[in-house]
Amino acid sequence: MTELANKGINVRVMQVLAHHKDISTTQQYIDYNEGKLRNAIELAYPMRPHIRRMKL
């Protein structure tokens, strides 16, 4: 699952592919890379520096 997440696949799509009833089950199998999370936050909130500084 981590490899799919790193390629930008939506976690909901991964849930369907894995036949998980609950999305939290799918999330347990994903090892999120902190650097990639920060980049995603910066892309989503470019004008909000306080969000970019928050601890992950």
Q: What does the pLDDT look like over 9-45, one tens digit per residue?
A: 899 999 999 999 999 999 998 887 777 777 777 887 7
**CA 15 to centroid of chain Cα atoms:** 13
Better pLDDT: 21 or 49: 21
Q: Where are the domains of the chain?
A: 2-52
pLDDT score for 19:
95
pLDDT score for 11:
92
Structure tokens at 52: 């970019």
State pTM to two decimals: 0.59
To 5 degrees, how large is the angle CA 20–CA 8–CA 10? 35
